[in-house]
Amino acid sequence: MTDLQTLQTELLAAITAANDETTLEAVRIAALGKSGSVSALLKTLGAMTPDERKEQGPRINGLKEAVNAALAARKDALKNAALEARLNTETIDVTLPVREPPAEIGRIHPISQVVDELTAIFADMGFAVAEGPDIETDDLNFTKLNFPEGHPAREMHDTFYFNPKPDGSRLLLRTHTSPVQIRALLTRPLPVYVVSPGKCFRTDPLDATHSPVFHQIECLAVDEGLTMADLRGAVQVFVDAMFGEGLRTRLRPDYFPFTEPSADVSMECHVCRGASTRPGGAPCRVCRSQGWIELAGCGMVNPRVLVACGVDPEKYSGFAFGFGIERMLMFRHNVEDMRDMVEGDVRFTRPFGMEI
């Protein structure tokens, strides 16, 4: 047996005997590494005569190839054996319960819950749901609601405007749900009883008490002979349904261009029930010891608005009220930070408990 054959037999035996990748790598380095036995043989080729090289070259290279092939085969075998071993030990128990998929963890967002609750209350009172687009014309968001061009009341709303069109008119993100009143009056046959929930936008920062995107719900009734007493009654029925019976409501004068007279609606605090302190004397945090909570803006539809919508103010009158849904959620559920409403954290929505 030549030296080369001996070496090959030894190396192949060492490769077969290697039972893990580390040992196999050590064998590879000992043979083919910089100072390995096969590398040393390859180096001798340089010093040979051409004839010797012709004879030895193929033999030495043949050895190298045989070793390489054996190394690759052994490596594969070791890999397969490792996989086989893992598959044998890591069994999957298909009888174990699977983790709850996200759909089951999700909840209807509290804002959507309240919108559903509110629309159901108004539907019971005979109001139809009316919706309008988030992007409005200046005319519907302001002018027809009796905010004339250049009127300071426009400054009450910090408005997101789009770039002006060639004719100078500008679209905007609606700043309140009141343009839906106009759309309803322009398109629906009288009498009109509608409730319109939806998103509103104002250039406010997002902080504990503000959000540039928020929700309002608006209630509009236009019929023959409606009076402030009807408005008051509707507000009371609504508060009874939302907070339980027995809380008084009060109206105080306010100003909105589209209602005349206008008022703000407050209700007795549902936590301290008007006492402004909690049992034991601690100040009530929900109403900040006021005993009352401001709930909504309201009023009798301004006859100018009726005229702008082609409704005869001699024959018809109407009332409207509108309020912020986030604000109502905050005081009804003691949510202290507006940001919780928009951040989509299920730890916030989960306690509201309503499952899909």
Interface with ligand PHE includes 259 (CB under 6 A)? yes
Choose one: 20-28, 69-77, 203-211, 314-322; the region binding ligand PHE (CB under 6 A): 314-322
Selected range binding ligand PHE among 51-59, 63-71, 281-289, 320-328, rule: CB under 6 A: 320-328
Q: Closest separation between CB of residue 213 and ligand PHE, Å? A: 14
Please identify which residue in the block is written with the tokens 């009172």.
Answer: 125
198 binds ligand PHE (CB under 6 A): no
**Angle separating helix axes 325-333 and 110-124, nearest 10 degrees:** 100
In the complex, the smallest distance separating the C-beta of residue 131 from ligand PHE, rounded to whole angstroms, is: 16
> For residues 36 and 257, which CB has a smaller minimum distance to ligand PHE in the complex?
257
What residues pair up with 259 in beta bridges, in sequence order? 256, 301
Considering the rule CB under 6 A, would residue 235 count as an interface residue with ligand PHE? no
Residue 218 CB, shortest distance to ligand PHE, in Å, is 5
Going by DSSP bridges, is the β-strand pair 192-201/171-173 parallel, antiparallel, or unpaired?
unpaired
* Alpha-carbon span 93 to 196, nearest angstrom: 52
Q: Does residue number 256 form part of the binding site for ligand PHE (CB under 6 A)? A: yes
Residue of 67, 299, 306, 317 interacting with ligand PHE (CB under 6 A): 299
Segment lying near ligand PHE (by CB under 6 A), choices 84-92, 126-134, 187-195, 296-304: 296-304
Enclosing H/E stretch for 193: strand 192-201
Closest separation in Å from C-beta 244 to ligand PHE: 24
CA distance 115 to 198: 9
Indicate the residue among 255 and 352 with the shorter CB distance to ligand PHE: 255
By CB under 6 A, name the one of 28, 74, 174, 176 that touches ligand PHE.
176
Cβ–Cβ under 8 Å, residues 319 and 178: no
Q: Per-residue DSSP letters for 96-110?
A: SPPPPPHHHH-B--H
Q: Rounded to an integer, what distance in angstroms lies between the CA atom of residue 172 and that of residue 145?
A: 15
- The encoded tokens of residue 350 equal 């989960």
196 makes contact with ligand PHE (CB under 6 A): no
What is d(CA 174, CA 159) in angstroms, rounded to the nearest whole number?
Answer: 8
Question: Per the structure block, which two tokens stand in for 38?
Answer: 């096969």
Question: Letter for the amino acid at 205?
Answer: P
Q: Total residues at the site for ligand PHE (CB under 6 A)?
A: 11
* φ, ψ for residue 35, nearest 5 deg: -110, 35
Q: Does 317 bind ligand PHE (CB under 6 A)?
A: no
Residue span binding ligand PHE (CB under 6 A) among the ranges 44-52, 129-137, 244-252, 295-303: 295-303
- Binding stretches for ligand PHE (CB under 6 A): 176, 178, 218, 256, 259, 297-299, 320-322
